[in-house]
Chain A
Amino acid sequence: MSPSGAEEEAAAPAADGRESAAVPVSVLARFAHASVQAVADRVGADVLHIKGPSVDPALNPGRGEGSDADVLVRPAHVRRLVEGLADHDWVMWCDFDEGSAFEHAASFHHLSFGMLDVHQNFPGLHRDPEASFEQLWQGRVSRDIARRPCWAPGPVGEHLILLLHAARSPGKGTDVQNHWHRLPDPERERVQALADGLGAGLGLEIAISGRVPEGHAETDLWRAMLGQSDQLTTWRARWATTHGLVARGRLLRRAVRVNRFVLGERLGHVPSRAEVRREWWRRTGAGLRAVTVLVRRVAPTTRRRS
């Protein structure tokens, strides 16, 4: 089975001894949701199921069910959930600091259930992940996935999550229609109030308007999330929105860390230590060259000013 999770099917034995049959990927995604909830219950981790089959179908006409599972975990419970998943045959493919530059999710793969993304924060709700989770948790509802009760955000939280996802994923017009344009005014006001309370107003504005407004403190960050920035600008945006010496030191180390998963996909095999080392030097060199170019570009202006 492909670790990508897309379009995959798993062979399943028939209970009465007939030939193996294929399990549709939409069924695997449901089993993945049920599995992670079962793990979370065992280890005492709070998780909210987001996107795909966890979304209330009545709120989501015209949308497919997705090919993998996504959960948002209470930040304080990340470690126990990750350990629990490892104990139940989920293999980490991509750690939080190996995925996107924003470290919001880690990817796991199960031989029978396919792919799972565990989000420790959600882009747009990144200002205070713990407070954001708690707010969503307070409004949670139980939703059966594969006849297994799972926690999902309430309707208002669900609207906001899907709109923030649409904000950084162009082409999600159906989600914006379903979770904003089709809502009655009082429901929109509740979504707007939740977004404002969680510092997600800009993300909501981007989802609705389809463009990143100028002059906001997080304008560069959202451009980076949309892939509209080069690597250096992305890291500058992250630097500007990362506060504290420890956090910035960690960010610097992260900037040159090699993503073994991405490198492996590029090479077509699991990278050796030498290949990881070579990639580290390449990233570090590229970063230094980019900074040098930036300094050269800025320096004449600075001299003229002085």
Chain B
Amino acid sequence: MRIGPAAELALHAVDGGEPPGADRVLYVTTLPTGHPVVLNAMAAEILERALELESREAVVATLAEDFDADPDLIGPDVDRVLEGLAAQGILRLEEDPADDGPPSPTPA
């Protein structure tokens, strides 16, 4: 699944926790107008990776690696956050055509 911002975004993280990052909160809104959405540390991690990597599969893979987790277990949680962000008008989710059917023949 391909991911991109649904609009221009503004983001601001607040970290009041100890150890650093534990209580991280990320606020995000669309621009020029919108409604701020608040994300907990894990949802923030998912959004920031999604904006950088632009692929659901890459988000799941890097999270699994960095947090030593099973991709099959965290996949549904990632999907729930991504769908929530899409519903808020923050992310645009598109099925990757390469995910469906057999791969296209590669030109010689």
Contacts and interface: CB of A to CB of B under 8 A. Distances in A.
A38 B14 CA distance: 22
Contact of B31 (A15, A27, A34): A34
Interface string B9-37: 11110100000000001010101111111
B81 A15 contact: yes
Nearest to A19: B38
A267 interface: no
Contacts of A146: 10-12
A141 B29 CA distance: 24
Interface residues of A, number: 31
A275 B33 CA distance: 34
Interface residues of B, number: 28
Given A21-B38, A27-B27, A34-B10, A15 B85 contact: yes
B27 A15 contact: no
B69 to A, nearest CB: 17
Given A15-B84, A16-B81, A38 B36 contact: no
Contact of B32 (A13, A15, A27, A39): A39
Contact of A89 (B33, B80, B81): B33
Contacts of A42: 32
Given A16-B81, A31-B12, A110 B88 contact: no
A65 to B, nearest CB: 11
B61 interface: no
Contacts of A35: 10, 31-33
B84 A17 contact: yes
Contacts of A12: 27, 35-38
A23 B47 CA distance: 18
A24 B36 CA distance: 11
Contacts of A298: none
Contacts of B85: 15
B53 interface: no
Contacts of A112: 29, 33-36
A35 B35 CA distance: 11
Contacts of B33: 35, 88-90, 110, 112
Given A13-B37, A15-B85, A148-B10, A38 B32 contact: yes
Nearest to A147: B11
Interface string B67-97: 0000000000000110011011010000000
B39 interface: yes
A10 interface: yes
Given A10-B36, A23-B38, A15 B88 contact: yes
Interface in A22-46: 23-24, 27-28, 30-31, 34-36, 38-39, 42
B3 interface: no
Interface of A: 10, 12-18, 21, 23-24, 27-28, 30-31, 34-36, 38-39, 42, 88-90, 110, 112-113, 145-148
Interface of B: 8-12, 14, 25, 27, 29, 31-40, 43, 47, 80-81, 84-85, 87-88, 90
Given A12-B35, A12-B38, 13 more contacts: A10-B36, A13-B35, A13-B37, A13-B38, A15-B47, A16-B40, A16-B81, A17-B84, A24-B14, A27-B36, A88-B33, A112-B33, A112-B36
Q: Which 4 A-B pairs have the closest CB atoms?
A: A146-B10, A34-B10, A38-B32, A15-B84
11 contacts: A13-B37, A15-B88, A21-B25, A23-B27, A30-B10, A39-B32, A112-B33, A112-B34, A112-B36, A147-B9, A147-B10
